[in-house]
């Protein structure tokens, strides 16, 4: 009945118009990554700026603020759909309207210059090329934090964009406890790994065969190809382009088929979340994913807990051999060991499951110190290299392998990195609970049956959209907020 409340109805209509614009922007962006001819980039940028400008104006209009206020005063039942949508519209409206348009434009300009400078800086491994741009971005980001407002660290104002309700103070405690535990797992894991190098997998795997195998796996875990597809890009991603249109990408190595396979399983994990969002709420917060940390939990769960398990390879080995006959030379256990090879290394995106979170913790510390003005941009390389050696036992010899390796800071993503580790912790926690809620789950997974697991995730996570913030959602799904117990237990079980 309450959907007949006029102010709410008007907001719904506006939200759906914005969703048409946003989803159109998403297809332009997907096309830019996949198929756009190189010289068409300038026009594409104009199209995207036009659409996002219009969507921004539609949402930040004074009228929208008034309608939200009217809805707040109307007093929808606290657990109603309407209350959840209004709450999220308010959050988003305040964040978007507290930054004056001229600062938003300034930020966009800085980002695009910084992105370009970073590309060159990484290429030549020259931090000084990136430094002045990063400094300008950071100054503006400090100003944004004040405009958004925050309690505690200014970091919280940024973190809230990606992980509603998360607090830097809590992350600091969580990560401080996590670090020595990982260190204690790392030593034995590295020792064990020496017997099964990644190069065990090296061979010749034609791309067409990889595509066929990946599709078989993606379909088996439940990704719906009537409502989605897989294309090729340098950096794999998943993007939802509207109801029933979810697109994954992966990249191929002809020497090692698992590069594309785990790319697909990771992105399909994101895609299953997208395909599980309630279509009737499309265009409103209840039809959107709640946070990056929850999104990443879905990708990590399918990639690591399903895809990198011994049961997975016991089931899929004969099927993989149909596509790649040379795999007959390896036993499932050998493939499992090779895809779980552990060794400290410089590059985050190539890191194994054990060391991955150390990469994140280092980045979180850099971000915190920068925002709390305990570290100058100019001193980041020295700080990074010192910390890196302490954590990984490796000496960084060039910044391209160090603090210049990731694109995030150059495009203004600050407070984003910790959501990767939150995703890892959430994944393990959800997986453990799914197994205890479904006593036959592990037996089913061993037979390559994934529907019970997917149904459980749909029920506990996907269908809620933004109804619950990440921590209430994790409590409802697993009985506890995000913590490292399940993650560490799972690492120990696999690696120690």
User: If you write DSSP's letter for every residue of 185-212 in order, what string do you get?
Assistant: HHHHHHHHHTTS-GGGG-S---HHHHHH
**Residue 119 binds to a second copy (criterion: CB under 8 A):** no
Which of 459, 487, 31, 473 minimizes the C-alpha distance to 245?
31
| Binding residue (CB under 8 A) for a second copy from 2, 24, 438, 483 | 24
CA distances from 258 to 215, 251, 385 (A): 13, 10, 31
| Binding residue (CB under 8 A) for a second copy from 227, 288, 345, 438 | 227
**Residue 164 binds to a second copy (criterion: CB under 8 A):** no
Closer residue to a second copy in complex, CB, 241/396: 241
Of 33-41, 61-69, 304-312, 448-456, the segment contacting a second copy by CB under 8 A is: 33-41
**Residue 157 binds to a second copy (criterion: CB under 8 A):** no
**Residue 269 binds to a second copy (criterion: CB under 8 A):** no
Q: What is the spatial distance between Cα 333 and Cα 320, in angstroms, rounded to a whole number?
A: 14
Q: What is the spatial distance between Cα 478 and Cα 187, in angstroms, rounded to a whole number?
A: 30
| Structure-block tokens of residue 5 | 């409340």
Would residue 267 show up in a list of annotated catalytic residues for this protein? yes
User: If you write DSSP's letter for every residue of 277-302 in order, what string do you get?
Assistant: S-GGGTTSGGGS---HHHHHHHHHII
**Residue 28 binds to a second copy (criterion: CB under 8 A):** yes
**Residue 245 binds to a second copy (criterion: CB under 8 A):** yes
Of 28-36, 102-110, 264-272, 452-460, the segment contacting a second copy by CB under 8 A is: 28-36
Closer residue to a second copy in complex, CB, 28/103: 28
Which of 145, 120, 117, 109 minimizes the C-alpha distance to 133?
117
**Residue 147 binds to a second copy (criterion: CB under 8 A):** no
**Residue 220 binds to a second copy (criterion: CB under 8 A):** no
**Residue 46 binds to a second copy (criterion: CB under 8 A):** yes
Q: For the sheet containing 228-232, what is the strand order?
A: 228-232, 246-250, 238-240
**Residue 254 binds to a second copy (criterion: CB under 8 A):** no
CB of 17 vs a second copy, minimal distance in Å: 7
248, 249, 254, 259 alpha-carbon torsion, rounded to 10°: -70
Exactly one of 88, 267, 296, 303 is catalytic; name it: 267
CB of 262 vs a second copy, minimal distance in Å: 23
**Residue 244 binds to a second copy (criterion: CB under 8 A):** yes
Closer residue to a second copy in complex, CB, 199/244: 244
Report the SS3 class of residue 382.
helix
**Residue 13 binds to a second copy (criterion: CB under 8 A):** no
Closer residue to a second copy in complex, CB, 32/181: 32
Closer residue to a second copy in complex, CB, 228/307: 228
Q: What is the spatial distance between Cα 402 and Cα 345, in angstroms, rounded to a whole number?
A: 11
Of 18-26, 133-141, 354-362, 413-421, the segment contacting a second copy by CB under 8 A is: 18-26
Whether residue 161 contacts residue 150, with contact meaning beta carbons closer than 8 Å, is answered with no
Q: At what angle are helices 257-276 and 332-339 packed, to 10 degrees?
A: 80
| Structure-block tokens of residue 334 | 């050998």
CB of 280 vs a second copy, minimal distance in Å: 13
Q: Residue 228: what are its φ and ψ, rounded to 5°?
A: -170, 175
* Site size with a second copy, rule: CB under 8 A: 35
**Residue 228 binds to a second copy (criterion: CB under 8 A):** yes
Whether residue 454 contacts residue 460, with contact meaning beta carbons closer than 8 Å, is answered with no
Each residue 49-78 as x (binds a second copy by CB under 8 A) or -, in order, gives -xx---------------------------
**Residues taking part in catalysis:** 267
Site residues (CB under 8 A) for a second copy? 17, 20-21, 23-24, 27-28, 31, 35-40, 42-44, 46-47, 50-51, 224-229, 231, 241-247
């Amino acid at each position: 009945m309450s959907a007949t409340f006029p102010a709410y109805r008007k907001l719904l209509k506006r939200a759906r118009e914005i969703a048409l614009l946003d989803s159109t922007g998403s297809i332009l962006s997907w096309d830019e990554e996949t198929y756009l001819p190189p010289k068409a980039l300038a026009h594409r940028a104009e199209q995207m700026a036009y659409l996002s400008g219009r969507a921004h104006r539609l949402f930040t209009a004074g009228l929208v603020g008034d309608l939200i206020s009217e809805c707040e005063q109307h007093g929808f039942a606290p657990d109603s759909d309407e209350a959840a949508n209004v709450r999220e519209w308010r959050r988003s409206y305040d964040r978007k309207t507290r930054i004056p348009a001229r600062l938003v434009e300034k930020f966009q300009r800085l980002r695009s210059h910084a992105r370009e400078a970073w590309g060159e800086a990484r290429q030549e491994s020259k931090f000084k090329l990136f430094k002045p741009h990063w400094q300008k971005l950071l100054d503006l980001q400090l100003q944004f934090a004040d405009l958004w407002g925050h309690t505690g660290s200014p970091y919280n104002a940024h973190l809230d964009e990606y992980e509603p309700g998360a607090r830097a103070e809590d992350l600091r405690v969580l990560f401080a406890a996590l670090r020595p535990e990982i260190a204690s797992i790392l030593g034995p894991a590295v020792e064990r790994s020496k017997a099964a190098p990644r190069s065990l997998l090296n061979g010749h795997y034609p791309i067409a065969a990889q595509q066929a195998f990946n599709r078989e796996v993606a379909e088996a875990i439940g990704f719906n190809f009537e409502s989605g597809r897989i294309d090729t890009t340098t950096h794999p991603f998943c993007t939802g382009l509207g109801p029933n249109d979810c697109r994954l990408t992966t990249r191929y190595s002809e020497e090692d088929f698992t590069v594309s396979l785990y790319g697909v399983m990771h992105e399909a994990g994101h895609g299953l979340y997208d395909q599980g969002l309630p279509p009737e709420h499309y265009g409103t917060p209840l039809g959107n994913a709640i946070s990056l940390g929850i999104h990443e939990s879905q990708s990590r769960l399918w990639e690591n807990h399903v895809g990198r398990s011994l049961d997975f390879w016991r089931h899929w080995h004969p099927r993989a051999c149909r596509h790649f006959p040379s795999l007959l030379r390896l036993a499932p256990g050998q493939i499992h060991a090779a895809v779980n090879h552990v060794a400290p290394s410089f590059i985050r995106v190539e890191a194994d499951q054990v060391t991955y979170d150390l990469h994140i913790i280092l980045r979180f510390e850099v971000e915190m110190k920068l925002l709390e003005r305990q570290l100058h941009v100019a001193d980041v390389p020295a700080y990074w290299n010192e910390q890196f050696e302490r954590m990984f036992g490796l000496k960084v010899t060039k910044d391209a392998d160090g603090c210049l390796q990731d694109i995030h800071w150059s495009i203004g993503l600050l407070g984003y990195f910790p959501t990767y580790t939150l995703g890892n912790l959430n994944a393990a926690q959800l997986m453990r609970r799914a197994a205890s809620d479904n006593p036959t789950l592990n037996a089913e997974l061993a037979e390559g049956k994934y529907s019970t697991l997917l149904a459980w995730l749909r029920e506990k996570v996907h269908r809620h959209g933004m109804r619950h913030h990440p921590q209430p959602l994790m409590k409802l799904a697993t009985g506890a907020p995000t913590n490292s117990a399940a993650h560490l237990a799972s690492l120990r079980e696999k690696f120690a």
